[in-house]
């Protein structure tokens, strides 16, 4: 969970929005309100706010997030993968970094919400987790198959282009068939390029969406 997700703000959030989000979280966890609060969660929130409100530190942190965002799920080079760069990010900010489950446990232990709210929110957290787990597993399987079969995909796309070109010279067929084959080949290749070689990491987007949803559900909802 990055600092923006922890505070429940977007990356382009203004300083006022960051301060406002921080105050909302502190109301849930502040020791003056809840005597049994875990001081670590307050410390993590304070350090996250400090980094995001400092222009220099925020630029440095955004740079690490950009490197993480430009990662790939599968690559021949380990240093390009999302998993490797995520570990680097977590190691660099290990004193501040909070996992989503640490955040959830802190909510259960320290939040001022009543018992019924905690039960309902816990049920929703588990439900959302299962939904995201199914989506991630399905995508991972699909992407992994594409990664293993990328040479087959290239061959198939090339074959479609060849058939499309040949169809232009086949008098008995309409030239429209050739365009269909070529456009299909380009579409297949672009999908492969997006999934395997593109800078947009589907799993990063899913994780970020889940983190934002978790913070909203536990802190900003009912």
Contact, 31 vs 110, CB < 8 A? no
Tell me the range of 64-68, 104-108, 114-118, 198-202 where mean pLDDT is highest: 114-118
Question: What pLDDT band is residue 126 in, cutting at 50, 70 and 90?
Answer: very high
* CA separation for the pair 183, 160 (Å, rounded): 9
Q: Residue 120: its pLDDT value, please?
A: 92
Q: Does 33 fall in a domain? A: yes
- Residue-number span of the structural domain to which 27 is assigned: 3-138+199-220
Total structural domains within the chain: 1
User: What pLDDT, on a 0 to 100 scale, did the predictor assign at position 53?
Assistant: 94
CA nearest neighbour of 49 among 93, 17, 18: 18
d(C-alpha 81, C-alpha 201), whole Å: 10
- Report the candidate in 52, 49, 30, 28 with the shortest Cα–Cα distance to residue 39: 30
Establish if 74 belongs to a structural domain.
Answer: yes
pLDDT digits (tens, 9 = 90+) for 180-203: 777 887 887 777 777 665 545 677
Q: Which two tokens stand for residue 214?
A: 């978790």
Q: In this structure, is residue 216 part of a structural domain?
A: yes
CATH number at residue 49: 1.10.287.110
pLDDT digits (tens, 9 = 90+) for 52-90: 999 999 999 898 888 777 776 666 677 777 777 778 877
Residue with tokens 């955004």: 62
Structural domain contains residue 118: yes
Global pTM exceeds 0.85: no
Phi-psi sector, 8: left (phi>0), alpha (psi -120 to 50), beta: left
């Amino acid at each position: 969970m990055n600092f923006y997700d922890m505070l429940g703000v977007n990356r382009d959030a203004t300083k006022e929005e960051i301060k406002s989000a921080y105050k909302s979280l502190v109301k849930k966890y502040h020791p003056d309100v809840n005597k049994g609060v875990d001081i670590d969660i307050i410390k993590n929130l304070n350090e996250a706010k400090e980094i995001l409100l400092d222009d220099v530190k925020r630029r440095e942190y955004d740079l690490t997030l950009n490197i993480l965002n430009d990662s790939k799920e599968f690559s021949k080079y380990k240093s390009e993968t999302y998993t490797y760069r995520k570990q680097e990010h977590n190691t660099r900010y290990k004193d501040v970094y909070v996992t989503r489950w640490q955040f959830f446990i802190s909510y259960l232990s320290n939040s001022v919400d009543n018992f019924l709210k905690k039960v309902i929110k816990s049920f929703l957290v588990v439900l959302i987790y299962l939904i995201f787990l199914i989506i991630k597993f399905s995508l991972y399987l699909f992407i992994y198959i594409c990664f293993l079969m990328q040479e087959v995909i290239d061959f198939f796309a090339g074959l479609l282009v060849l058939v499309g070109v040949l169809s232009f010279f086949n008098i008995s067929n309409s030239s429209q068939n050739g365009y269909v084959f070529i456009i299909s080949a380009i579409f297949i290749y672009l999908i492969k390029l997006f999934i395997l070689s593109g800078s947009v990491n589907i799993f990063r987007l899913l994780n970020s969406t889940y983190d934002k949803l978790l913070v909203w559900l536990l802190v900003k909802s009912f």
